Chain A
């Protein structure tokens, strides 16, 4: 039986002119035919989780053999190395079929898999979120690189081949419970919430038994790329200005 929360239903797409109307929408997830529970979602508040995923591969040097030449790690981490466990329930890494148990499931952060091998291939990473976050999984793909692109001097066991990709997981209409839980968490980017919005009380945070989920002191952290939004923003803004300036002159 669907729960009916009275008085708080708001039709889509209406302009809010009176501030006292709560912007909470009740939807019935159409895909869940089994669990017909109404999920309270918050409209117009976009929650994003900046992540970085990729691989770091070390040449094994003297210990290398034909079949095991590199040691590599594939992972998903928070862009600022915060704990992704608040959002991600588990990560499933799909490796090349030639590996034993090519489907590797990681149930707790840090979400990573380390392996040894000789070949480059595409790794499929599926992220599953907590029940109160999202019931859909998100798929990422990453190509494992073992050999560096630059002029191949002798490979070094000290300097790994690092390929990282920055991205952001966006939840356009996050469930209220989720928002309540993470609104102050460093791993999650939450915009300024409207003053009229009232969220349910946040549940007690679980502490991971296996230690911290963040990657701030990860062994590989020295190799992590620092993605700075500021650089790109500046470059873009400069480009826009320059473009208009030049082009307009040319046109006329």
Chain B
């Protein structure tokens, strides 16, 4: 007796379950009124309970046309019963009788073999006579008993060699068993064949089992599969490098082709050789910035020297060009231009007029010194910029890390200093001055950072 009901004009709902079971009446709490004839109609094709699962409302679009549903063929004219009947299977050697449900049509049970019997396949394992064994199959490594046992197991286990290896009385590897089995089969085949030509096409005769190759293949496979992701990446990198190098070499030498180490399945072995070749010819890609300023040119220079030595004859100017290129390999175009500008300002020819060995060496050294100093300048500016930005804002937030980074870089800077100053001979003054600059940056930081600084700093600390 709800006001809503009266207003909506619904028939009086019963909220209490009646003794007859509950009625399919909508509850009054619903927002919308349901069509009143809903409870009287039962939709066709699906039972009432299932229909109720949908919430009592028919879907807007019929998802499945009722007429499309399968209709049991001849469900009217036949009488179908299900019976619990015994059966036998041709796949079984014993006469075991089992029972199962059978669909009986008009009192007639189905005929025919057990439907799964056809899946009972097995391998035809060759059977040899003792005579044949004596004649063709004797082997120093295998006794007759062992061979017989092997064949028996093969028959039982359908050539599942892993299982056979497990069951084999003496310990033999899977590959050994396979090898013995296949060689026996092959020998028998050849012995029994009326003419050799008949079986020449047989796969066992054409490609005999090669035990060493199989062992090697499995070893290589397991190595490849057990490689870590990092190793995989490194291998891919090395292969790419080797490919690039071999292509570059081919382009350089024209018809004189060098052989790239053959990439076989045994990838790890070949990678050692390729890696060695790669390392000697190209700089390591993992160099950091500050040490990177030195490392690539050094290896470039070394490789240039090596390649020059490989040439039987060359011009001094050519050698100088190569060395200059190698030394400036890490520098950008602008830096190189600045080096050249500096040389000109000093009154030095960009290409020496009298390129003797000594002159070229001096020239190269001068270029390297200019390059080094330009790099240093750049780094110093960079660090100072960093330092000032840290001092201003970010400093307060992460006091630990920034000063450490600055100081580590500055320490590396210091390694450059002795080299360039030894020539000028004005050592101490400059070194102290250089220290002061970074020292200023590190004034504020908390003690953990400071304690990590080497005691060399003592002079400017106090």
Instruction: Please give the residue numbers on chain A whose beta carbons come within 8 Å of chain B beta carbons, in ascending order.
Output: 30-31, 46, 48, 50, 129, 134-136, 138, 140, 166-173, 227-229, 231-233, 235-237, 239-245, 247-248, 251-252
Contact B366 A48 (CB under 8 A): no
Q: Is B426 an interface residue (CB 8 A)?
A: yes
| Interchain CA distance A236-B423 in the complex, whole Å | 14
Chain A hits for B380, CB < 8 A? 251
Majority DSSP secondary structure for residues of A touching B: mixed
**CB neighbours of A237 from chain B (8 A):** 362
Compute how far the CA of A121 lies from the CA of B376 in the bound complex, rounded to whole angstroms. Answer: 45
A/B interface sample: 22 pairs, CB < 8 A:
A30-B256, A50-B356, A135-B312, A136-B312, A166-B353, A167-B355, A169-B316, A172-B308, A173-B312, A232-B352, A232-B354, A236-B348, A236-B363, A239-B366, A240-B365, A240-B366, A243-B342, A243-B370, A244-B420, A244-B423, A251-B377, A252-B434
Sample of 18 further A-B pairs with CB below 8 A, known A173-B309, A236-B366, A244-B424: A50-B356, A134-B313, A135-B312, A136-B312, A168-B357, A169-B313, A170-B314, A172-B311, A172-B312, A172-B314, A232-B354, A233-B358, A236-B348, A237-B362, A243-B342, A243-B369, A243-B370, A244-B369
Q: Does B224 contact A (CB under 8 A)?
A: no
User: Is A233 a contact partner of B420 (Cβ separation < 8 A)?
Assistant: no
- Considering the complex, give the chain B residue whose CB is closest to the CB of A242: B346
- Most A CB contacts (10 A, CB to CB) among B312, B342, B366 go to B312
Tell me, rounded to whole Å, the shortest Cβ–Cβ distance linking B40 to chain A.
101
Residues of chain B within 8 A (CB-CB) of A129 are 313
Taking CB atoms, residues of chain A closer than 8 Å to B358 are: 229, 233
- Residues in chain B within 8 A of chain A (CB atoms): 256, 308-309, 311-317, 319, 342-343, 346-349, 352-359, 362-363, 365-366, 369-370, 373, 376-377, 380, 420-421, 423-424, 426, 430, 433-434, 437
Assess whether A236 is in contact with B315, with CB atoms less than 8 Å apart.
no
> Which of B313, B420, B423 contacts A170 (CB under 8 A)?
B313
Q: Do B430 and A171 touch across chains, with their CB atoms under 8 A apart? A: no
The binding surface of chain B is classed by DSSP as helix
The interface residues of chain A lying within 8 Å CB-to-CB of B370 are 243
Instruction: Tell me whether B311 and A48 are in contact (CB under 8 A).
Output: no
B344 CB, min distance to chain A CBs, angstroms: 11
Q: Which residues of B contact A168 (CB under 8 A)?
A: 315-316, 355-357
Closest residue of A by beta carbon distance from B366: A240
**Minimum C-beta distance from A177 to chain B (A):** 14
Using CB atoms, name the residue of chain B closest to A136.
Answer: B312
In the complex, the chain A residue whose C-beta lies closest to that of B423 is: A244
Determine which of A134, A170, A233 lies in contact with B315 in the assembled complex, contact meaning CB atoms within 8 Å: A170
Which are the 3 A-B pairs with shortest beta-carbon distances? A168-B316, A239-B346, A236-B362
- Residue of A with least CB distance to B374: A247
Beta-carbon nearest neighbor of B353 in chain A = A232
How many angstroms from the CA of A170 to the CA of B321 in the assembled complex?
14
Bound: A166/B316 CA distance, A: 10
